[in-house]
Structure 1
Amino acid sequence: METPKKGKKACTECRQQKAKCDVYLNPDEPCTRCRKVNAACVVSDPFKREHKRKRISDLERESEDLRRKLRASQPAGPHPSPIALLTAAAEMGVHTPASDALSGSPQPLPSYPPQLLPPTGLENGAPVPALDGDTTKPRTLNGIQVSGEEADDLFQLFFRYYAQFLPILDPQTRPNTYYEQSPFLFWAIIGVACRAYSRNPTLLMALARSIIEMALLSTLSVSPPSHTIQGILLLLTWPFPKGDHPDVTFPMGGILLHIAMQNGLHIPMSSHEFSRVKIAAPSEPDLLRRSELWAHSVIVYQRVCVTKGQLPRALGNLGQDPAQRQVLFEKIAPWMALKLRCQELIAKCSEAAMENGMRTMSPDQERALDIILRMYEDQVDDLELQTVTDDERFDTALCRMAIQSFHFYKNPTSVSSGCYQRILVTACSLVDYIRLLSDRVGFLSMVPVQMGFALLLASTSLLRILKSNAASQGLETSRARACLFAAINLAQQMSVDSADLAAKTVTVLKAVWNSNKAFRKMDGSEYNSLRIRSRLVLSPILDVVWWWRDEFDPGSRSVRSVVEPAQGNAYARSRYSGVADAGLRPVSDTNREITGATAVSGTPERNDAFYLDEQFLADFEWALGDDALFSLDPLPSNWAATNNLL
């Protein structure tokens, strides 16, 4: 009887990779492939090939379990999740009242897990921390002095309440050492922490302009670039309220990204190739720190673009090939990778929506947009399966809310498809998260800008749907109303200055909610289209502000009353249409229909006049700085010259 032939043996490494193996030629020696990659060459009959994606998923799950056990064994250490941190503090009885936090009472500093420690610098040699017995020195910036005691209080506040949202700095480093490392980073920490410092409430606006100037000049600093990146990250996460300085948030986001790329953070494993002097390849701990700092830079940069209504660059356009991106996601913590993936979805969805066309949309384009949005919402569903903590669920909810905001570009005849109901659910979940955070911490002045933007996007979406006819077509609105009113109260808690975005949000929401003219044509019928259509996720927010200024902005009414009677409705319409073509608002078919109706009746048009109140609307990004894109004097003396420029 003939014995059946046995197949050629292959080692486990080659079998895992489905690679050709020649170990059978010489069983006593490693195969050619294993010798080449310096891998262990083992032949095992019971070996079973493991699916790579499943293995990565299992490793991430195991890593998260180990981190959870580590945090449970260290009661004093915070969780990188703000909600989990506040919950643990409350359960352990170490949560201090909000009044103590605002006054700057000294509290024990947390110690971050190893993977959250700050980079040691992109150059060799980190400064040695000061001795414990050293007294913090007073510092002065353009005539504004911060005493050593105030600096200690502010650093305590920062690491107890702010750093949990952006864990990039070492809480054990003394203020003196931070100043020696980088004066800009020192003042950035002070500028963030003084937002709610009741012992000296004048510091915030007194220091704002000087710190912003330091940020813009930091590119010329001799300090390690890591400190410059960290300082800019702080200022973009907690931007200063509008004051006597221009809004440079958007250009500063570009500076952040370019400094990081100039120093090779976008390719952490090869960042030594970007050094002017020959240095060794980064060690494993340094590789981890560089990867996390790059992830933070991308996340903050993309958030800045979204909140300013600009298209952010996706990771694929930042000089990384797929293998490098995979290494990045493997190195950084799972919660950080989730934030990065959420921002990537928003960036890709915004780009797809722009390619589809947004200013004037045909029925086919609207159907295509609906398909695009459903595709990206399905991807958010996949991300939600990976969430563990409340703040991770906040990230996915904000991602979903940003994607769903593009539904407002379509005509609201798609209410039957359920998009409005889904928007209400998402918006309410965002408000609930921030309300839960407020209940646990007692105050919201320390929350980062993305939470304020989430509250603004959710509340304006709720407002628009509740003021529409869709509210009477079977939608559950009682919970939506309660969440809208809760959002107004939460925005009041977030405000640190009458000129900040939270304070202006309260003004707009209250006025538009009580208005009988908002989202209505002159005949009282519903105006069911966005007039602001060039600012991506920000457009629905700006559209609500436009309705507010139409009715409640005295400057807008004064310009309209002077210009329209003098020039006639037809002349005003032609001039305003020219402004729309320049980017203020689209001249859609719906707009033309309304214009035609008002022209016949001879009634002045409420919605076509334009006026840029730069003091109020700067935070809503009608312009990128102090100067308006277009300006008109209250009197029409220079009207013709201004229109020649348009």
Structure 2
Amino acid sequence: PGVKRACNDCRQQKLRCNVVAGPGDVVVEPCKRCVKHSLECSIDNNFKRLGKRAEHEEMKRELELCKARLVQFEAHGYHLPDDTRTSPAYTGTASYNASPTASAPVAQMAGQPFLGPSEAAASRSLLDLSQGYRELPPTSFPSITPGASPKTLRNVTLVEEQLVDLYAIYFSHFHPYLPVLNPDWSYQAYYSLHPLLHWTIIAVAARRYEAKPGLLVEVQQPLEEMLWTTLSQVPQVYHVCKAIAILCTWPLPNSSTSQEPTMMLSGIMFQLAMQYGLHRPSHAQDFSRFRVDLREEDIADRLNTWATVNVVAQMVSTGQGQPPLSRWAWYTYGLHLDRMKPELHTRCQIEKFCDTVTRTVFTMQRDHIVEVDYAQRGLQIQAYARELNEMEVTIMSTRSSVIDTLYLKAAALHLRLAAFFDKPTTPNYLADLRDVYIAASSLLTVIQELPTHLLNYVPRYIEQMMLAGAVTLLKLLNSFYASHVDIPQGRTLFSKTVATLRKLSVRSNDLPQRLAEVMAQLWQSSGASQQRLFNGDAGPHKPGPNDSLQLRVRCRSSLSILYDAIWRWRQQVGQEGRNNLDRAVQHPTAI
């Protein structure tokens, strides 16, 4: 008699089998196990046991392949219903490359019923510009966004209601200051553009999210990791520039100006924008390895992004007293300007003016290197002042906006701060001091009159210009010029400005809180407008102009006045005072 053999399933499981087989191993009576589990009972001479480990590895490879093909499929604008996502319809053979710098293959759709030749051609015109390069979307690169989703970033998990509320906060309060995004889009749409853009919106809105006050602290570190990981991988979509622009406008909380990366991020943003060809918004093809079919809305979005990049770069440069990175020739002679958002048109006018002032007036301040023609500079400043007044009349006649007024006042202060570079012997010295006092008072008054839904959301640039205005009042109220101004009114305005800066703090011991405390300590050490702070180098107090207002820090453009005051504060308090600042902000100095 032949050897009794078990059926295939029992052999795989190493179980006892009572199958009855006839000649040629034909099953005559199935075994009880196969009957019980409704299995096909058969005996195959070529059957070979497959180890579970090998089987699981094979299944894992198949799952990864299916996921990659699903991503390729959805990158072309199609989304399967939930019940079809697991169907074996993906018979393409394209491989998945997880490197964001390598060219990703075009998805192969052979064997599935959705795309015919005409549909495939039509789909190219339906692609969003973020997929115009025919590469995989940023969400498909796990090396950039490990474990991230629209609702989860590392240990931070949000629910649908929180996401909707955060987006509502951003577009209601922050967006008017930097109108680069589309308020009508959902958070899923922004996540599909790039995860960094989505989570940047969340982080900025979290600054004023009362439903979960600690959210900003929770999201800061994972967002920073996502930011630097994204930049290290060389992002392939220009929407990253939007995220960086927002982060430069409302930086993540920091307690040190020397460790804040905003200036560095501004440069990266500008270089990436040119790498993507945003400075030639209708010629994206010239900057891409793949065919790019632009629609009208695509060109407009690229143009608005390029305008935003220049506006933000100019604000960062002005606010930190650094040479400008922005370029404005395109705004004078460029094409497609009629497609730009009206709000960005106004911002470009104002920031282009600030750029002109920086490149002309403040590049002449190298007193120790080149002798300055003060008469020529005075005439130039007056010409710029007339130009700014005309611009203000034009802007206010076409669109009356409190935010536009705020930026116009900041530009006026930027221009008038050149007065502190004049010598006391200059004929128009007192007139220039009057103009800078008026400019500072006007800006600070406009800020104090802002409604709460705008005041609590001002960009970092406005905070920096507030500080410059506060130091202007501090210096002039504690100098020979105090006799020319209303001291009680100036003291009140200074006090309100310091209180406002403290309100703008979003995290304990952050820069607005620390710098407000520095302003308060400087005010107290000055004798509260008793002319004892800035005239120490000028000997006894004199009724006329003297050297008490001269700056020691002179290479930080209009913000030299702020860095000069901080430098003097460090000299006064010493190392111990600087170390005690962390504790001092918890017990604010009264004014």
**What residue number does 2:32 align with?**
none
**Which residue of 515, 527, 535 corresponds with 2:548?**
527
Q: Does 1:179 align with 2:186?
A: no
Query: Shift of the alpha carbon at 1:312?
Result: 0.5
The whole-number CA distance in structure 2 between the counterparts of 1:330 and 1:169 is 18
Q: Does 1:216 align with 2:228?
A: yes
Q: Does 1:493 align with 2:503?
A: yes
**What residue number does 2:10 align with?**
none
Query: Shift of the alpha carbon at 1:520?
Result: 2.5
Please show how residues 41-440 of structure 1 align to structure 2 within 5 Å.
120-124=128-132, 139-219=151-231, 225-242=237-254, 246-280=259-293, 282-316=294-328, 320=330, 323-324=333-334, 327=335, 329-360=337-368, 364-388=372-396, 389=400, 390-414=402-426, 417-437=430-450, 439-440=451-452
The whole-number CA distance in structure 2 between the counterparts of 1:469 and 1:331 is 52
Query: Shift of the alpha carbon at 1:499?
Result: 2.7
Query: Shift of the alpha carbon at 1:301?
Result: 1.0
Q: Which moved more, 1:203-212 or 1:259-268?
A: 203-212
Cα displacement string for residues 319-356 of structure 1 (whole angstroms, at most 9, x for unaligned residues): x49532xx354432343222212212222222223542
Structure 2 CA distance for partners of 1:615 and 1:284, relative to 1, 3 Å: farther
Cα displacement string for residues 369-390 of structure 1 (whole angstroms, at most 9, x for unaligned residues): 3233223222212211212223
Amino acid aligned to 1:163: H
Amino acid aligned to 1:453: Q
Q: Is the 8 A contact 2:354 2:414 kept in 1?
A: yes
The whole-number CA distance in structure 2 between the counterparts of 1:372 and 1:208 is 45
Q: Is the 8 A contact 2:423 2:429 kept in 1?
A: no
Amino acid aligned to 2:480: N
Q: Supply the RMSD in Å over aligned alpha carbons.
A: 3.1
Q: Is the 8 A contact 2:129 2:298 kept in 1?
A: no
Amino acid aligned to 1:528: L
The whole-number CA distance in structure 2 between the counterparts of 1:259 and 1:615 is 38
How many positions carry a matched residue from both structures? 427
Structure 2 CA distance for partners of 1:524 and 1:352, relative to 1, 3 Å: same
Cα displacement string for residues 25-46 of structure 1 (whole angstroms, at most 9, x for unaligned residues): xxxxxxxxxxxxxxxxxxxxxx
Q: Aligned with 1:519: secondary structure?
A: coil
Q: Name the TM-score, length of structure 2 as normaliser.
A: 0.66
Q: Is the 8 A contact 1:358 1:409 kept in 2?
A: no
Q: Is the 8 A contact 2:249 2:312 kept in 1?
A: yes
Cα displacement string for residues 415-457 of structure 1 (whole angstroms, at most 9, x for unaligned residues): 65511222122212212222222x352x743222122122112
The whole-number CA distance in structure 2 between the counterparts of 1:359 and 1:614 is 36
The whole-number CA distance in structure 1 between the counterparts of 2:404 and 2:412 is 13
Amino acid aligned to 1:190: I
**What residue number does 2:478 align with?**
467
Q: Is the 8 A contact 1:195 1:445 kept in 2?
A: no
**What residue number does 1:451 align with?**
462
Identical counterparts, % of pairs: 24
Q: Is the 8 A contact 2:220 2:252 kept in 1?
A: yes
**Which residue of 507, 522, 525 corresponds with 1:512?**
522
Q: Is the 8 A contact 1:312 1:347 kept in 2?
A: yes
Q: Is the 8 A contact 1:349 1:372 kept in 2?
A: no
Unaligned runs of 5+ in 1: 1-118, 128-135, 557-611, 617-646
Q: Does 1:536 align with 2:557?
A: yes
**What residue number does 1:640 align with?**
none
**What residue number does 1:481 align with?**
491
Cα displacement string for residues 251-270 of structure 1 (whole angstroms, at most 9, x for unaligned residues): 10011111111111112232
Q: Aligned with 1:514: secondary structure?
A: helix
Structure 2 CA distance for partners of 1:391 and 1:274, relative to 1, 3 Å: same
**What residue number does 1:99 align with?**
none
Structure 2 CA distance for partners of 1:372 and 1:466, relative to 1, 3 Å: same
Cα displacement string for residues 172-224 of structure 1 (whole angstroms, at most 9, x for unaligned residues): 33334433432211211111011122332222233223312322332356876
Q: Is the 8 A contact 1:182 1:223 kept in 2?
A: no
The whole-number CA distance in structure 1 between the counterparts of 2:194 and 2:342 is 30
Q: Name the TM-score, length of structure 1 as normaliser.
A: 0.60
The whole-number CA distance in structure 2 between the counterparts of 1:137 and 1:284 is 30
Cα displacement string for residues 487-519 of structure 1 (whole angstroms, at most 9, x for unaligned residues): 112212211123322212321221112223421
Cα displacement string for residues 46-84 of structure 1 (whole angstroms, at most 9, x for unaligned residues): xxxxxxxxxxxxxxxxxxxxxxxxxxxxxxxxxxxxxxx
Structure 2 CA distance for partners of 1:287 and 1:323, relative to 1, 3 Å: same
Q: Is the 8 A contact 1:456 1:541 kept in 2?
A: yes
Unaligned runs of 5+ in 2: 1-126, 138-147, 527-531, 542-546, 583-591
Structure 2 CA distance for partners of 1:243 and 1:457, relative to 1, 3 Å: closer
Q: Is the 8 A contact 2:328 2:352 kept in 1?
A: no
The whole-number CA distance in structure 2 between the counterparts of 1:231 and 1:237 is 10
**What residue number does 1:552 align with?**
573
Q: Aligned with 2:152: secondary structure?
A: strand
Amino acid aligned to 1:349: V
4+ aligned runs moved over 6 Å, structure 1: 612-616
Amino acid aligned to 1:520: N
The whole-number CA distance in structure 2 between the counterparts of 1:147 and 1:214 is 20
Q: Larger Cα Rg: Structure 1 or Structure 2?
A: 2
Query: Shift of the alpha carbon at 1:309?
Result: 1.6
